[in-house]
Chains A and B, each alone.
Chain A
Amino acid sequence: MGLIARTIEQHGIATVALSIQRELTEKTRPPRALFVRWPYGHPLGEPFNVAQQRWVLCDALRALEELQTPGTIIDLPYRWRRPGPWTEKRA
């Protein structure tokens, strides 16, 4: 996905990418990224958790305005609280 972000940015459109695999984002180097420490398939968080989805989206939009250094990856502080089959700690 980092590669798609780069291509769009090269076409003159500002991009911000959520990341759920920090190592892959470090390798593909999109212009702006926010890493969430959440299970795969959940970049915006839990289903029907409107507030949580909104925080992440607002953080991404803020990053679009504020980030000045290409390749920055912001680590979002949110923790995964919902118990479930994915609750292995991503330390």
Chain B
Amino acid sequence: MDRHRLRNRFFAFFFSRFPSLTRRWVARQQLEDYGPPPWTPLAKPVSRCRVALVTTAGVHRRDDAPFDMADKDGDATYRVIPHDAAPETLCITHDYYDHRDADKDLNIVLPRDRLQELAQEHVIGEVAPFHYSFMGHIDGRHLPRLLADTAPAVARRLQREQVDAVVLTPA
């Protein structure tokens, strides 16, 4: 492991222990004003909706390319997570948070099992065939790429898969 990644993991550990430091960092960030939130009313009751998950926890299939941890501005690409992928075929590449608990139980960042149970109980209509994963550290030149390219690509895939509602989970 190179020094850059070790340094990031050190900070991830430190910021996980002291969330107030992260809050201060966020407060200093000069984010663009993206304007009022867009709005799409839910088209039908949740009990008839096809629901997908989108996470920024850095989850991916083990046989997929890992997220880029060498670029200090992060990685704006996404990975496809089949809903029925076995847990042992998935892993997390994300040096900016402590994911030891999520490594044990992926449901705390990508609640596939809970969603499946809710579908079986008819609380939701059905689970979508695919979920999507980003690596939440996206900054600098990757931010325009996320907004113009990769996030719309995921949105179009969700449209094609006739998803009615999306639950997003951070890390």
Residue numbers of A with Cβ under 8 A of B are 1, 3-21, 23-24, 27-31, 39-48, 50, 53-54, 56-58, 60-62, 64-65, 70-71, 85-86, 88, 90
18 further A-B contacts with Cβ under 8 Å, apart from A11-B156, A41-B57, A48-B105, are A1-B168, A14-B42, A15-B166, A20-B170, A20-B171, A21-B22, A23-B26, A29-B37, A30-B37, A30-B168, A41-B101, A41-B171, A43-B109, A46-B108, A53-B111, A62-B46, A64-B49, A65-B45
Residues of B within 8 A of A27 (CB): 26, 29, 31
CA separation between A8 and B39, bound complex, in Å?
10
Task: Look across to chain B and name the residue whose beta carbon is closest to the beta carbon of A87.
Answer: B17
- Count of chain A to chain B residue pairs whose CB atoms are closer than 8 Å in the complex: 205
Contact between A17 and B170, CB atoms less than 8 A apart: yes
Residue numbers of B with Cβ under 8 A of A are 15-20, 22-23, 26-27, 29, 31, 34-43, 45-46, 49, 51, 54, 56-57, 97-99, 101-102, 104-105, 107-109, 111, 113-115, 117-118, 123-124, 134, 136, 143, 146-147, 151-152, 154-156, 158-159, 163-171
Contact between A48 and B155, CB atoms less than 8 A apart: no
Contact between A41 and B16, CB atoms less than 8 A apart: yes
CA separation between A62 and B72, bound complex, in Å?
38
CA separation between A4 and B166, bound complex, in Å?
11
